[in-house]
Structure 1
Amino acid sequence: MMLHARWRGEHRSDRPTLVWLHGFLGSGKEWQPVQEYFSDWPQLSIDLPGHGGSRAQQVSGFEALSARLNATLHNHRVRRYWLIGYSLGGRAALYHACRYADSSLAGVVVEGAHFGLASPHERAQRLADDRHWASLFRQQPLGDTLHKWYRQPVFADLREPQRQQLIALRADNDPQALAAMLLNTSLARQPYLLPEIQRLPVFHYLCGEHDLKFQRLAAGAGLPVTTIPAAGHNAHRACPQAFAAVLAQKLNPV
């Protein structure tokens, strides 16, 4: 089964395809402000299961998600590619790069994405937290859950108008589909990928200047971090031009 995806540009032999993976609650369209700066690259925006055009799909976990990602790449005749993922999409990109990809993968860029939990205690706590959130998505109006979701500490940099804009934007999601995806791709169910990430030949970690949680996470793991000025957890949304400038440097190293 393939994931819903939107192709942009022409297939080229001289440049890999940029494959974009969005975060939880989003869709491939979220990347459009950044994609405008890469109009001369072939690009593929993918909707993850439970989201956008793939909202009717479910996956049992990261292995099944990678299989669908591979099927989608094959369907769109993608032969060489970069994976670019934010948050949940970043975790999906990391799993795919570490466990599923071959020499056709040119490199991986993740934004504010977790490499996994090593401690069983941390895994148990995270699973309990995600089960709580899943029950909220399933049992109460979506707007109420979104109001709580965007008041988590990781979104502390958002001003109230920005928070309300995000809540309105996410209001057309299917809460049952979101709950299923949240549990099946929970950080508690993701393998601890750090040793494998450290062996990836081309890997870049981007993070908003004000996203201290993920800056500390990456720095504590010894991963080189490039920060996006004046941005929080969702840096590509807050500052698409600055994000694109940093990304262009990673894609075209001097």
Structure 2
Amino acid sequence: MKLAGQIIPGEQPQRTYLVWLHGFLGSAYDWQATRNAFTRWPQLYLDLPGHGASQGITTQGFAEFFTQLTHTLAERNITRYWLIGYSLGGRLAMYTACQRPAGLEGIIVEGGNPGLADQTSRLQRIEADQRWALRFISEPLDKVLDAWYRQPVFASLSDTVRAQLIQERAGNKPDALASVLDNLSLGRQPWLGDALAALPVPFHYLCGARDQKFQAIARALGAPSHLIEHAGHNAHRENPAAYCQCVIDILTHYSEEQP
């Protein structure tokens, strides 16, 4: 089934497409503050399964998402593309890249986890995500969203930004969120570290300078990594100007036609 999304043709349509994958609870709208920086490129802003205009689309796991994404790109005749993903979207971008699809020219991941290396950690994460899933379907959504954004990984969010995020996420369907949390749990994701190290395409990793957890992940991966100053886990939201400049620098480095 084709995922919902918005295409922006771009001023230079011969350039490679940028395909944007948002994080859990988000939608294509999450990139609103950054999209004007990339008008030279044709772009596709996707709504992931269970989110935005794709709320009615379910996915049973990473393999099915890969099929859904491949079908979506083919339906839209996108044959050359970079994947740019945040958090859950970054995990999906890494998984997709490890399948080595035709047409993929590189990935840029912001705060995405390549997986858990041992079975015990994976089982513990599945259980934790299932507890969150139960909360989403059994408690008031605004209460669960507030608790979600008070997790340590989001500690750098100001009260204002946290309130904005909760308001923006209020239109989500709890049952769809619960399904995504379970089926795309980090605990169900394969360990991708070794496959990422052998990718035939560029792989760059971004994280906020205040995001100690994902800085450690970046160091362990050994991929080219970039710190976004004055930002935590949600770097593209907390410092969009620095985020955009970093991504543009990466893309133009690999572009045959410099701007």
Query: Normalising by the residue count of structure 1, what TM-score does the alignment of the two structures yield?
Result: 0.96
Q: Which amino acid aligns with 1:31?
A: W
Question: What is aligned with 2:257?
Answer: none
Equivalent residues of 2:6, 2:44 under 8 A apart: yes
Question: What is aligned with 2:78?
Answer: 78
Distance in 2 of aligned mates of 1:45 and 1:170? 17
Q: Which amino acid aligns with 2:249?
A: Q
The 3 A distance-change label for structure 1 pair 11 and 65 is farther
Distance in 2 of aligned mates of 1:239 and 1:7? 24
Q: Which amino acid aligns with 1:69?
A: L
Q: Which amino acid aligns with 1:206?
A: L
Question: What is aligned with 2:54?
Answer: 54
* CA apart distance, 1:222: 2.4
Equivalent residues of 2:10, 2:39 under 8 A apart: no
Q: Which amino acid aligns with 2:212?
A: L
Question: What is aligned with 1:188?
Answer: 187
Equivalent residues of 1:66, 1:100 under 8 A apart: no
Distance in 2 of aligned mates of 1:99 and 1:11? 30
Question: What is aligned with 1:148?
Answer: 147
The structure 1 segments of at least 4 consecutive aligned residues displaced by more than 3 Å after TM superposition are 10-14
Distance in 2 of aligned mates of 1:249 and 1:223? 16
Distance in 1 of aligned mates of 2:95 and 2:128? 22
Q: Which amino acid aligns with 2:121?
A: E
Distance in 2 of aligned mates of 1:192 and 1:74? 27
Distance in 1 of aligned mates of 2:54 and 2:22? 12
Distance in 1 of aligned mates of 2:238 and 2:216? 20
Distance in 2 of aligned mates of 1:22 and 1:113? 11
Distance in 1 of aligned mates of 2:220 and 2:39? 36
Question: What is aligned with 1:122?
Answer: 121
SS of aligned partner of 1:216 = helix
In the TM superposition, 1:236-247 aligns within 5 A as 236-247=236-247
In the TM superposition, 1:1-254 aligns within 5 A as 1-10=1-10, 14-102=14-102, 104-200=103-199, 201-253=201-253
Distance in 2 of aligned mates of 1:85 and 1:160? 25
Equivalent residues of 1:118, 1:192 under 8 A apart: yes
| 1:17-61 C-alpha deviation (Å, 9 max, x unpaired) | 000000000001111221101111100000000000000110000
> What is the count of residue pairs matched by the alignment?
253
Which stretch has the larger CA shift, 187-196 or 92-101? 92-101
Which structure 2 segments of 5+ residues have no match?
255-259
Q: Which amino acid aligns with 1:148?
A: A
Equivalent residues of 1:55, 1:177 under 8 A apart: yes
* CA apart distance, 1:10: 4.8
SS of aligned partner of 1:252 = helix
Which structure 1 segments of 5+ residues have no match?
none
Distance in 2 of aligned mates of 1:46 and 1:68? 11
SS of aligned partner of 2:98 = helix
Q: Which amino acid aligns with 1:16?
A: T
Q: CA RMSD in A?
A: 1.3
Distance in 1 of aligned mates of 2:95 and 2:249? 24
* CA apart distance, 1:121: 1.1
Distance in 1 of aligned mates of 2:11 and 2:21? 19
* CA apart distance, 1:13: 6.1
